[in-house]
Structure 1
């Protein structure tokens, strides 16, 4: 039986005259992600992408998994394709949904008739389909409020489509529709979540990581690369920049007030990151900071950090509790990797009593007391960029 995947839009459908550009971005993303799944045709109509396998070698299960992580798609339906004939719908569709119906106890039928020329109205389709299901699967009962399975019959322009349940999509808007952003990616829980959330709002994500050997190990770097690899399932390919930061951290330790160490370190990280952004035509920085979570993430500290920036700094986790961030990390499969016990450079030389209410004038005076420019340039020159691809 012919099968197809219907990918339903979310807010893209509300973009008015710009809708076609959003559709184009999402279609390109779908085609690119499905290359490893076999041959599929992709077309669009009625605020839906039609993804059709072209031969038996096409891996529909893998395609559904990949499509569920593409931003812009809110719901996927794996359907059988039938002629717009009621007899065919009532007979052939039951074989397709048999597995779901055999394991359910209750069901309801939902009909969507976008082709108003179809001779049966939606309530009539529900009655006819419900009767056939009860006849074929006598153990089932109808429950219109909380059914185990919702059988949906969609009458569209060219065909009828029947499925028994939908799959939640990633939502958001297509990656590429909102510019480019550089994620400061540590080995923690928060920053991968921040990258995911910005990609969900259409940003193309690059990532920058600061390493400090021998204080940080190769395993710490590998952990961060793995985190970047995991979020490519949602973000797409990521340009990854690894900055040698040991010398700057040692100089900070020896030449700045201990209580300002973390603030000054973050200001220098921001300076390096935005210079690389300027070279790469990237418009914004992204961090995983959550207000008040640690000493460097107080409002006073953030003000001091942002004062060193010439471009926007987005903090999508800023108003979230740790439990909320962890919930998303589990959802996107980064949590188990994030909690591996390999330290990143942010934990090196951590002051015992960091200042939670730093004064900007004091911070700037401490930073200006030393000439950082040669070391910033050296760190940028030693940065190793490479591409982390989505499988």
Structure 2
């Protein structure tokens, strides 16, 4: 599944669009449409400004990762409105926290109603409660019944995106509808009709990727390299036969063995560069998406392993219980140190650097209500930075 146009509009309304960096409700530096350092470059910081088009492009790139997380983890096909609500929740709490959430656990148990109620459990800080209520309503209410609100406290729902006119299936570019056909279309469709027209049935991202990959592999490995040699073999096979000597029929020997060996060597010399080039073409076409999928999975695993290690290493930290500000800060610092010690430099850069790792750990921890980025995350970063410098000094000595 993918995020619908209505879900995208509602998520943008919840996050807001701010072109200058600011601190969100928990003190994390944010810019554009909910973009933080945990999602990758650009790194929000004081004084940073971006353009409106750049903010939309960053949001499109960021939200794709959260859509993929929800699509890969939910156990069953969900209605579009429920899927969009889960993407909104995942975008706010992060992929790692979503994978460990009660929402996902209840969905896997078949309790969809309980999963919707579990959305309301993510109620810290208190300013986030109206958004959670809006996501809860969006999860339960089909778009045909009512359009969602960014927050339950809002007086009006989010306006549905304007439908773009499209030509019928199979029509050539530049096709225009006949005047009579255009006149028969309703000028002011009702909300259900508008929603139905706005969310056409389409092939999912994963199915489209699989079909494209299968077509490319068939074209590269079957049609192009195999068909020409077969035609060549059919046309030229008699040329490989050695003239038969005039001997007695009882002692006749056909030297096809040498011909087969020569043919195999020729085909090997022909196919080897073709297969190498085909493999390089496949990597060039699909290497980017595959690399992104693998990198995201490795980053999530790095954060999860570092967090588990820190929870076991810091005194007073208990798995599954809420952590105080001081204990939570110590856990974040220890997790960052663990990640820097164990992970390669390129994986740390993919996670957003030291700050990105710390923010991901911060968002995944069950912290008390008083915990903010100012009193928990920033002291942990300072502690990790100081201990990292001391460790490098000891190594140099």
TM over 0.5: no
Higher helix share: 2
TM score, norm. by length of structure 1 = 0.25
Bigger strand fraction: 1
Q: TM-score, normalised by structure 2?
A: 0.25
> Between Structure 1 and Structure 2, whose CA radius of gyration is higher?
2
